[in-house]
Amino acid sequence: MISVGRFEVFSVINGHIRLDGGAMFGVVPKVLWQKKAAADGVNRILLAMRTLVAVDRERREVILVDTGAGDKWLAEDAERYAVTHDSAAIPDALEPYGLGAADVTDVIIAHLHFDHAGGMTGWKDQPGGDVEVRFPQARHWVHERHLAHARKPTPRDRASFILHDFEALDRAGLIRGVSGDRPDPPFDGIRWFVSQGHTPYQLLPWFEDDDAPLLFVGDMIPTAAHLPPAWVMGYDLYPLATLEEKQRVLHLCAEQNLRLAFPHDPDAGGIEVAMKNNRPSPGPALDL
């Protein structure tokens, strides 16, 4: 756990997934990326699925960022991606604070790909049946234009969105839309960084701090291995936009001592960034 502004912040691994290493590193040759991430027999690399948790005990605010892939998986689909999910991970992490799932006040939906948004809902009774909301007292924040894209994706990214991951939230009246390129945040101490490269209007929370702010970078920089600007995923719809966004963020790391929190790094929930000869490299891991 680290303190960032008014929040106590920590990262919870709620599961793992394996995705194709070539897709995860785009045009970067395997001879380079395999030094950072070992591939299995079918070229998949191991990725964590992390939830960033921010708690303000005085205000009784409990904010989650991302929820992992969830447990709404048929066996053959879970096997394809080697999906594992621990539905108790978030409640167990909140327990030392005297809190539980019912105390979650807000869920920030960085984007609605299944490996980030699936844990917001679960099967109510039996697999394949009705879906229920996991955090029924929470407001769920998403950019309106990203939600529109998720409902009508392109043929290229259609497989990344699963409607039952998020439509139950709409039926329950829990979705809170954010609009504009520079939206005002609904929280004190948090502002938005809107990213367009990986998927349209990815909504990334920036936790303000006078000494060292923290940015949850989402799939703009999914792991520490993706720090170099040109190491962009093949999954990104607009890779040149991702490259530009990463350069901007890395400049802020140097200028404002910005720290980064990852959604998928299996070893580090977040890091400080070191700049050597104008090239970024992972600095000390954060105690998340």
Contacts 24+ apart (CB under 8 A), 166-170: 166/109, 166/112, 166/117, 166/120, 166/121, 166/142, 168/121, 168/131, 168/132, 168/133, 169/120, 169/121, 169/133, 169/140
- Phi and psi (nearest 5°) for 96? -60, -20
**pLDDT (average), residues 46-68:** 97
Task: Report pLDDT for 91.
Answer: 95
pLDDT of residue 103: 96
For the CA atoms of 155, 229, 144, 117, what is the dihedral angle to 10 degrees? 70
pLDDT digits (tens, 9 = 90+) for 68-113: 999 999 888 899 999 999 999 999 999 999 999 999 999 999 999 9
What CATH number does residue 172 fall under?
3.60.15.10
Structural domain that includes position 12: 2-285
| pLDDT recorded at residue 259 | 98
pLDDT digits (tens, 9 = 90+) for 121-144: 998 887 777 899 999 999 999 999
Q: Tens of pLDDT along 129-186?
A: 789 999 999 999 999 999 999 999 999 999 999 999 999 999 999 999 999 999 998 9
Q: Encoding tokens for residue 177?
A: 């839309």
Label residue 237 by pLDDT band (50, 70, 90): very high
The single-letter code of the amino acid at 174 is L
Percent residues over pLDDT 70 in the chain: 100
Beta bridge partners of 282: 273
Give mean pLDDT, residues 241-252. 97
160 and 114 Cβ atoms separated by less than 8 Å: yes
Tokens 């966004």 belong to which residue? Answer: 245
d(CA 221, CA 274): 15
pLDDT band at 233 (very low <50, low <70, confident <90, very high): very high
User: Cα separations (Å) of 144 from 137, 180, 193, 203?
Assistant: 21, 9, 15, 10
Q: Based on the structure, what is the number of domains in the chain?
A: 1
SS in 3 state form for the chain?
CEEECCEEEEEEEEEEEEEEHHHHHCCCCHHHHCCCCCECCCCEEEEEEEEEEEEECCCCEEEEECCECCCCCCHHHHHHHCCEECCCHHHHHHHHHCCCHHHCCEEECCCCCHHHHHHHEEECCCCCCCEEECCCCCEEEEEHHHHHHHHCCCCCCHHHCCHHHCHHHHHCCCEEEECCCCCCCCCCCEEEEEECCCCCCEEEEEECCCCCCEEECHHHCCCHHHCCCCCCCCCCCCHHHHHHHHHHHHHHHHHHCCEEECCCCCCCCEEEEEEECCEEEEEEECCC
Predicted local confidence at residue 279, as pLDDT: 87
Nearest to 65, CA basis, from 138, 158, 123: 138
How do residues 2-20 score in pLDDT, each as one tens digit? 999 999 999 999 999 999 9
The pLDDT value given to residue 174: 97
The whole-chain average pLDDT of the chain stands at: 95
CA distances from 47 to 4, 11, 15, 198 (A): 25, 14, 9, 17
Query: In this predicted structure, what is the pLDDT of residue 275?
Result: 83
pTM for the model stands at 0.96
